[in-house]
A and B are shown apart, each in its own frame.
Chain A
Amino acid sequence: MNWIIAFPELVLTLCGLVILTVGVVQKKSTNPFAACSMLTIAAFAITGFLVTVSPDGSGYEHVFVNDGFARFMKVLSLIGGALATIMTLSYRGTSGGGRFELPVLILFSTIGTMLMASSDNMMTLFVGLELSSLAIYILCAFDRDSVVSSESGLKYFILGSLASGLLLYGISLTYGYGGTMEYGAIRTVLIQSGGASLGLMLGIVFLIAGLAFKLSAVPFHMWTPDVYQGAPTPVTAYLAGAPKIATFALILRIMAGPFGALAPQWQLLIEMISVLSMVFGSLAAIPQTNIKRLMAYSSIGHMGYALMGLAAATPGGIRGTLVYLTTYLFMNVGVFAGIAAMRRKGHETTDIADLSGLGRTSPGLALMMAIFMFSMLGMPPTAGFFGKLMVFSAAYGAGLYGLLAIGAITSAIGAYYYLRIVKVMYFDASAPAFDTRSPSLAFLSVSMGIVTALFVLVLGPVTSAAQAAASALIG
């Protein structure tokens, strides 16, 4: 048995169990939260290193695969998990976050996302997704004394169950009409039969629906604003990062791999979802007054743009999507670090109006937020521009001009609400200053700000890594 290809996952799992034990055996008097968080971050770092050196290969009766694409996605997931854990450090001593289960749950969820990236079989897909999701359900309701937090956890759980049901049904249909759950085998079957039966196609639709739910792509997005708003801010930051990247790993892998031959059939569906997400994400964000809700719609819109690369169904499109997700991960964590810093006398405030005059009361934070907002709307030379440029050019290359036009229009509409935040920060009358930021948040917002503003410096390596990942997927 070739256990070495799953070595990073095994190490991370063991680490998780150890940290859990450490947390449990601590005396009541000492809070193990900080120690567990640090250990979790260390575990992510070690695993990240192991992922980069792990060899290619497929194993365990074709349920697990490790290739360039999986490594790329796993590294992104681990970065997302680690950054979210750093953010949780600022929650030490608050009612919602100061318990050691928080980092451990993030860790287990991240294991799930890694499994998703490495799935070579519908079963791995489902198990990884559920492992990741179950941890997130708990995370959402983590602030158990808060009604909105509990509500968000419950809502996400119920709707997530529905989505899992759809996904499972899709897997059943695929198995029933394809005769196998292995990606490679399905691909062979489809190529040999020269087309898909109606049942198999229905299975694909159900699969797409189940995965689109996790991406919060329209029309399976309804949970997103409520959950984003209700969940503790570090959890929201995590939720908007690693799980979405892992879900993209899944959807890219199964669409390009087993169902690659059926591209003309599913392309239209992805295009529809992409268009709906972009339009809804940009429009519904305009009237929002709560910045976390705003970020929920922003995330819906971003998923639409990222799906554009998949809709193109070309290696360039997949590369574009990967670069887009990379930039999105960094700027997204940066924004949430800024949101987490919005505290007055220990209480979280999340109204956009609370940012008024931030340019004067806290120029550093305001500058970072402004950088993230410009990046979110795709202003050169920030990170967001390059992601958008690549998916747009992929859509152009694939002749999807309608999609391209809608993307451009919605970008312009989206610019309105991103720039509104900049305007509020710099031109509105000052609101009272926020509490002093914790070092972890300051570190996150500044480092993410630097990455976002100077992304052009690492654009080359990131693009070539994404290129390698895309070619590992399509071949």
Chain B
Amino acid sequence: MTSSAAIFAIAVLAPLGGSLIAGLFGRIIGDRPAQAITIGLMAAACASAIATLFSGVPQDMGTAVVSLGHWIDAGGFHANWSLRADMLSLSMVAMVTTISLCVHIYSVGYMNHEEMPTYRFFSYLSLFTFAMLMLVTSNDLIQLFFGWEGVGLVSYLLIGYWYDKPSAVAAAIKAFVVNRVADLFFLVGIALLFLQFGSVTYDNIFAVVPAQVGATYHLFGTDWPVFEVIGTLLFIGAMGKSAQLFLHTWLPDAMEGPTPVSALIHAATMVTAGVFLMARMSPLLEFAPGTKTLIVLIGGTTCFFAATVGLVQPDIKRTIAYSTCSQLGYMFMAAGVGVYQASIFHLTTHAFFKALLFLGAGSVIHAIHGEQDMFRMGGLWRKIPFTYAVMWIGSLALAGVFPFAGYWSKDGILEAMWAAQSGPATYGWAMGVVTAFITALYSWRLIFLVFHGTPRDAHLSEHAHEGGIAIVLPLGILGVGAVLAGVLLDRFYIGTAQAQFWQGSIVNGAGAAVMNRMEEVPGLIALAPSIAGLLGIAVAYLAYMARPELPASLARSLRPVYLFLLNKWYFDELYDVLFVRPYRALARILWKGADEGVVEQVPVGLARLTVGTAVQAARTQSGSIAIYAFTMLIGLVVLTTTLLFVH
């Protein structure tokens, strides 16, 4: 193992060490040392990751694999523990460790009012990071699935961290179950990949992909292209993790967890896994045009859907949660037209400003003692000016205003959508532009409601104050990232230097042409998202500052629409009717009818029959010699008769 490989291994494994030490020995060593150790190891991981990213991968290879050991060797099936170092994984590792470090530091300040020891929390945070790092550095689909499930597990643990709160436990279970549904499809996809290619290692699969384009499954009387089937299954898996439409219902509920967890889930770990999977499997997806169309449609719709719902939510964290859902829609759209670079770019910039927004929101919540309803806030900007400033930065980045981070990446995605020049892509572009307007609208709705106007609850805002250095420092770092990430990375991620930067870790088939055309997009089209964003800010100012009575009257006059949005398009209710209730009914039938009625009744009935017969049998013993003798003679007659019949 060379020194660079060792450094890369530190980046991935240090969080595991932190998690184990804090988790297993936290009770002994105490809270503060546990926090210090996890943060220290996380910082080491972050430094190693950035160092590795700057040194890059060996020029001629494009990919380096650090082998850690064998895992499964069964017949022709091999899976190893290994760390894959290509530019895709390196950039992900650097981003994940940076965000995670900020969240770790922030948690020290945020969790200081907890009554329970918090070593468990820090252990989970580090484990969460480790699982995500295993996911992005996997060299085969099995290790990727390991990380995938690890992320799912720890998200369950963290969302339900306050396990004495029933709503938190319910949200944790919901997140886990919804993810399991998606994981089932993903797992089938992996199994089909193994069947088709005889291997689960990326390089082995990608090497033979072009040769097997024509392969089909014959099922239900039709031929199904293998790559479309596999691609769709993988995409459904990604939909679950990345909360795309139809499998998004867990994401808003996940707000039940502590706010740093929300930041981690939404920015660095968990939801980005789906987008990463699309980029990682790009050599395969490029041969599945049907799947890509599906991705564009789902992504575009999610983008619009989540933004509309976010527009009416009263809860500050839920508003930001829907914005994540919406931004993930952008990333999938880009993947759907084959410009994975743009989706990873947006993923990275989004990580900075979304973590910033969440931690800023956490700072607000922390300042006013746990209140999350924006309609009870107001006028806070004087009390917590630093938070106010970073929320502005985060919102400007989210809305895609030049020169903040979001501008570069969102602009890239929308240009790619336009340049793709196909029906679905144009639909995605339209959705994206409309959503850019709504995004700006709900972002400034949040800012105006929370920070401006008169305090609606004087008691709440009275004692509001900034958090300590542990809260301010990460906000500062992320704020810098939210400003600069776009302008600095644009050239490498999607700009002129992208080919040298990615070094083939992302494959563009048809997308390559789109990449080239992106620069030739007409000026007005390129400006559209910016205009939409500024328009959104103006409308928000009008509605929430200039004429605050307007939204209420609008909600009254358009009550059905308002309720439709407030109830998240009734997805939870729909699923309740479609899945939960029929399943409950079926389970009840099986429980009451099949189990209690049949399975349980059989032994009970047999026992009853036995006892009844037993009492009758014992009753024959009357004590009378005459009856005894008679019985013997009857027996003799029976035996004789039997013999005569047989004879």
Contacts and interface: CB of A to CB of B under 8 A. Distances in A.
Interface stretch (A8-16, A264-272, A306-314, A430-438): A264-272
B643 interface: yes
Given A201-B643, A201-B647, A269-B642, A286 B632 contact: no
Interface residues of B, number: 27
A286 B614 contact: yes
A283 B632 contact: no
A283 B643 contact: no
Contact of A209 (B613, B623, B636, B642): B636
Contacts of B631: 219, 222
Contact of B614 (A202, A219, A273, A283): A283
Given A209-B636, A222-B632, A286-B610, A272 B615 contact: no
A205 B640 contact: yes
A420 interface: no
B635 interface: yes
Interface in B584-630: 610-611, 613-615, 617-618, 620-621, 623, 625, 627-629
B571 to A, nearest CB: 53
Contact of B621 (A163, A205, A213, A225): A225
A219 B643 contact: no
Contact of B632 (A155, A159, A269, A272): A159
Nearest to A280: B617
Contacts of A100: none
A219 B638 contact: yes
Interface string B128-168: 00000000000000000000000000000000000000000
Contacts of B642: 268-269, 272
A43 B640 CA distance: 43
B618 A287 contact: yes
Interface in A198-225: 198, 201-202, 205-206, 208-209, 213, 218-220, 222-223, 225
Nearest to A223: B628
Given A225-B621, A226-B623, A272-B642, A265 B635 contact: no
Given A222-B631, A268-B646, A286-B610, A206 B621 contact: no
Given A205-B643, A272-B642, A287-B618, A213 B625 contact: no
Contacts of A416: 610
Given A265-B647, A286-B611, A159 B634 contact: no
Nearest to A204: B643
A208 B625 contact: no
A406 interface: no
A227 to B, nearest CB: 10
A287 B625 CA distance: 22
Contacts of B634: 219
A155 B610 CA distance: 30
B29 interface: no
B639 interface: yes
B636 A166 contact: yes
A429 interface: no
A312 to B, nearest CB: 18
A158 B628 CA distance: 10
B632 A163 contact: yes
Interface string B534-545: 000000000000
A288 B618 CA distance: 8
A202 B640 contact: yes
Contacts, number: 83
Given A286-B610, A286-B611, A209 B639 contact: yes
A284 B621 contact: yes
Contacts of A226: 621, 623
Interface in A76-112: none
Nearest to B610: A413
Nearest to B645: A268
Contacts of A223: 628
Contacts of B625: 155, 158-159
Nearest to B613: A283
Contacts of A166: 632, 636
Given A280-B617, A283-B614, A286-B610, A198 B632 contact: no
A208 B632 CA distance: 12
A162 interface: yes
Given A286-B610, A413-B610, A269 B623 contact: no
A262 B556 CA distance: 101
Contacts of A219: 631-632, 634-635, 638
A259 to B, nearest CB: 12
A396 B630 CA distance: 35
B615 A213 contact: no
A272 B640 CA distance: 12
A200 to B, nearest CB: 11
Contacts of B629: 158-159, 162, 222
B627 to A, nearest CB: 8
Nearest to A212: B635
A49 B617 CA distance: 44
Contacts of B628: 155, 159, 222-223
Q: Name the residue in A208, A213, A269, A288 with the highest tally of chain B Cβ atoms < 10 Å from its Cβ.
A: A269
Contact of B617 (A155, A213, A269, A284): A284
A272 B636 CA distance: 12
Contacts of B611: 286-287
B614 A284 contact: yes
Contacts of A205: 636, 639-640, 643
Interface string A276-314: 000010011111100000000000000000000000000
Nearest to B630: A222
A265 B643 contact: yes
A260 to B, nearest CB: 17
A205 B638 CA distance: 10
Nearest to B607: A416
A206 B617 CA distance: 25
Interface in B338-378: none
A221 to B, nearest CB: 9
A265 B621 contact: no
Contacts of B627: 222
Contacts of B621: 222, 225-226, 284
Nearest to B633: A162
A209 B613 CA distance: 25
Nearest to A208: B639
Contacts of B613: 283
Interface string B198-241: 00000000000000000000000000000000000000000000
A269 to B, nearest CB: 5
Contacts of B635: 209, 218-220
Contacts of A222: 621, 627-629, 631-632
A212 to B, nearest CB: 8
Contacts of B639: 205, 208-209, 269, 272-273
A284 B621 CA distance: 9
A219 B631 CA distance: 7
B647 A198 contact: yes
A205 B633 CA distance: 12
A304 B635 CA distance: 15
A209 B643 CA distance: 13
Contacts of A218: 635
B610 A269 contact: no
22 contacts: A159-B625, A162-B629, A201-B647, A205-B640, A205-B643, A209-B636, A219-B634, A223-B628, A225-B621, A265-B643, A272-B639, A272-B642, A280-B617, A283-B610, A283-B614, A283-B617, A284-B614, A284-B617, A286-B611, A286-B618, A287-B614, A287-B618
Given A205-B639, A287-B615, 10 more contacts: A158-B629, A159-B628, A163-B632, A205-B636, A219-B634, A222-B627, A226-B621, A226-B623, A284-B617, A286-B615
**Closest A-B pairs by Cβ, 6 of them:** A219-B635, A222-B628, A286-B614, A284-B617, A283-B614, A283-B617
Interface of A: 155, 158-159, 162-163, 166, 198, 201-202, 205-206, 208-209, 213, 218-220, 222-223, 225-226, 265, 268-269, 272-273, 280, 283-288, 413, 416
